[in-house]
Structure formats: C-alpha cells, structure tokens
Amino acid sequence: MFNLFNLSLKINGFPMKEAKAEFEKIQAVSDAEFEDFIIRKRKKIVDYHLKNNESYQEFVGKTFFDPETSRWNELPIMTKKDFQKPLSERLSEGFTVKNVYVNKTSGSSGDPFIFAKDKFCHALTWANIINRFGWFGIDFNSSLQARFYGIPLDFIGNKKERLKDLFKNSYRFTIFDLSDEILEKILLKFQHEKFDYINGYTSSIVLFAKFLQKKDIVLRSVCPTLKCCIVTSEMLFEEDKLLMEKQFGIPIVNEYGASELDLIAFQNPNNEWQVNSETLFVEILDENNAILPNGNEGRIVITSLYNKAHPFIRYDIGDVGILDKKSTFKKPILKKLIGRTNDIAILPSGKKSPGLTFYYVTKSIIEDDGNVKEFVIKQTKIDTFEVKYVSDTALTLKQIKKIEKAITTYLENGLTFTFIRKDKLERSKSGKLKQFVSLIK
C-alpha cells in the first residue's frame, strides 16, 4: 500500500527519519541514567531560549534567573495569558511563521492562542504518536480510522480537513448531529468498511455506544477488523469506559494531549496512563508553585524539551491531576486527571470543588436507566446550577430529588438546581462538549 501518511509529513517538511532516530535514542536511555538525561535536556532548552528568545528573556528577566546558579524550581511559571501577543513577537531568533509549524489551541480553557513548533519538534510529536498507537497494532499508513471529530463547515476548511483525512487513511463522522437516524447511518458504515480503530471525542463515542446498547449490538460482531478505540479531548469516566468496552468488544484507550505540546499521557497495554517522558517534563505543583511529591493532587505544569521555535517552559496547562507514587523519571504514570483549573465551583460556604464532582454525582444517578443520553452543568450564580440534558422522556420529580440529595451529601446544603430538557446540546466549534462551566469569576 502506498504510504500516503509518510508522504504527507515529508511534503510538509517534517524530518521524520531524523525524528524517529532521535525518539529511539531517547527511549534507549536506561532507567538509571534517565533523571540526569532529563535534567540536562531541561537546562539545554532553558539556556537556548534565554539566548535566542527575546520574549522569554523578558519574561524570566524579572525574576533575575541565572541558569548557571539558580535552581529549576525558581523558574517562573508560564500560563496561557503570557501568550496573548502576536506570534511573531514570541518566536526565537531564526524562526518565522514561514519556517515553523503553526496552529491554534482549541480555546477550551477560555484562553485560545496561536502557537508554533519548529519542524523537528513537530516531527518528534508524530514519532511519539506513531509509537503509542503502535502499542495497539495501529499503523497510520495502512490502518483505517473511524474518526469522530468536528469539522469546519465552510467550504474551503471542510475540503482541507477531508484531504487531511485522505492522507491519514481516515473516514470522518461529523459529530454535530448524533441523532438516532445519523447513528444508524454510522452503524451501516461500520458494517461495510474494514475499520481498524475508532478515534475521537469521548462524549460522541459514548453516545454511539449507548445507541448500540439500545439495539443490543456489539460493534465488533458487525466490524470484526476493529482493534481498539482511542478517546481524547474530554474526560473519560470509568462507567463510560466499561460501556464502550462491552458495546464495541475492543480495548478502550485513553489519550490526554495538548495541541501546543504533544501527547501528554497515553494508556498503555497494561492499563496504565503512561506520561510522555520522551519529549516532555511533567510536574505537579501546589497553589504556591511548590513541587508536590508523587501521589498528591495539584496543577499540571509541563516543559517542552525540544521546541526551539517557541518556549513552553514550566507551562501551566490549566489542568489538575495526580502522578502515581510508583512513577519514575523514565516512566511517569498519571494516576488521575481531575479537570481544568477553571472548572472549579466556588460554593456559598467558600468551599471550592472540581466542577466534575457535580457532573459525576449527577451522572451516576440520571443514567441508570439509559433514558438520559448526555448532559452538561452550568453554574450561573454562587448557589445556582443549570442542568441541560437530552433524553427520551423528561426527568421525574423523584429523580430530581435524588440528584439534589446526592449533591448535598457530597458537597453542601442550600444549592438550587434547574433542569432543562433539550433536543440537543450546544458544542464548541470543534465539536467538543464542555461538561461543566462556571460563570462565577
């Protein structure tokens, strides 16, 4: 089979041969030597940007950081707000918008920005993705992908994405309408195509699994070529994972990444959420920027070790998580991803709670009978929440009281909930479904 995927990377100027060789070299570093290897790589990328990136020099200069005598934890923390200026002002010397890979973050955190990677760094990202997908027998040149993603609706944007799908050996199901009629057509496609794997947004794929459950169909029985399902961009709850495993008949793989960085963590065949230590350095920090020991919950802060075009050094991605106690420098394991830092609910008592707590408690009750297909929660006032949901029949008063009681048990008294039944839920332009939103600043 002609290697369209490899060809597309070559056409775009990504040095894949060199990147794969470098990636293999990194993986060959022994466990015993890996900590020293990472420390050297960290210092090298900081030194590079302090010498070649005026924007980073200004950012770090205010803390009087000396790379020779200062310690790593004295480096300031970067946030998305630090990138709210033209890209040309953030690029390192020798790089322009014409000789780098340029893209835009999704804006799911509320602070979208345009970023850049040098071509070698982006090639390393692809070397990493190819390696991880290979754990499950996926080859980008030959494996046919069933892709559940959003797509631009304008003519040119739509055609560009369809062309990319062709090069990626991918068939895209648009996810803006996932009514039963559309899901029936998707099922028909699985009956006629030899798909190797499913990849896409968690909420959309869960909806397809619920549709199959209702029809009492296991997907692999109608599409026996399927090897695995890789979900990304949204939270994966354990009960949803179990449902998909049952209805698809294949392993469900959880991916966590950020377009401006790389794959951050990818579930390995031993069911561990393995953090990318090859191209990134991941830390967990408390609210005072102190480094937390493994096993503690805190802010996820990431350093891109190879991006020379644009600094992402001690970059607060806006997520909260926990690294497993058994993590090592070479093989860090993400024990839990709790959610985004801006998805925190501030309650009347002053208590702060991850917004996903509301989502999780509500989910455990209203999905018992399969009536509710999906829902989102919005905090509109400090004591008031809106639950918008899609269902076959409206929630009963008994169900609503049960939800309110559960939330009181987990959180506190005196909270008001309004339940609004919808035909479908609003998604972002990319097709993502934000499960919890707070309007409280």
**Token pair 């950020």: residue:** 258
Beta bridge partners of 321: 298, 337
Q: Phi and psi for 114 in degrees, rounded to 5?
A: -85, 140
Q: What is the pLDDT of residue 368?
A: 59
Q: One digit per residue, pLDDT tens: the chain, 441 residues?
A: 447 777 788 888 899 999 999 999 999 999 999 999 999 999 999 999 999 999 999 999 855 566 666 789 989 999 988 887 889 999 999 999 999 999 887 555 545 678 999 999 999 999 999 999 999 999 988 899 999 987 666 677 777 777 777 777 889 887 777 888 889 999 999 999 999 999 998 888 998 999 999 999 999 999 999 999 999 888 888 889 999 999 999 999 999 999 899 999 999 999 999 999 999 999 999 999 999 999 999 999 999 999 999 999 999 998 899 999 999 999 999 999 987 666 778 889 888 777 767 777 777 677 656 678 888 889 999 999 999 998 889 988 988 888 888 888 878 889 999 999 998 888 776 677 788 888 887
The rounded distance, in Å, linking the Cα atoms of 67 and 60 is: 10
- Of the candidates 140, 205, 178, the residue with the CA atom closest to the CA atom of residue 9: 140
- Of the candidates 264, 266, 179, the residue with the CA atom closest to the CA atom of residue 228: 266
Label each residue of 143-190 as H, E or C. Answer: CCEEEEECCCCCHHHHHHHHHHHHHCCEEEEECCCCCHHHHHHHHHHH
Q: What is the pLDDT of residue 218?
A: 98
Report in angstroms the alpha-carbon separations of 204 from 149, 210, 214: 8, 10, 16
- Of the candidates 116, 102, 99, 120, the residue with the CA atom closest to the CA atom of residue 14: 120
Q: What is the pLDDT of residue 1?
A: 40
The rounded distance, in Å, linking the Cα atoms of 254 and 271 is: 9
Q: What is the pLDDT of residue 2?
A: 46
In the chain, what are the domains? 4-340 (3.40.50.12780), 344-438 (3.30.300.30)
Query: Do 333 and 327 contact (CB within 8 A), yes or no?
Result: yes
Classify residue 94 by its DSSP letter: T
Q: What is the pLDDT of residue 367?
A: 64
Output b/e per residue, 279-302; b: 16+ Cβ within 10 A.
bbbbbbbeeebeeeeeeeebbbbb
Residues 6 or more apart in contact with residue 278 via CB below 8 angstroms: 23, 26, 27, 124, 128
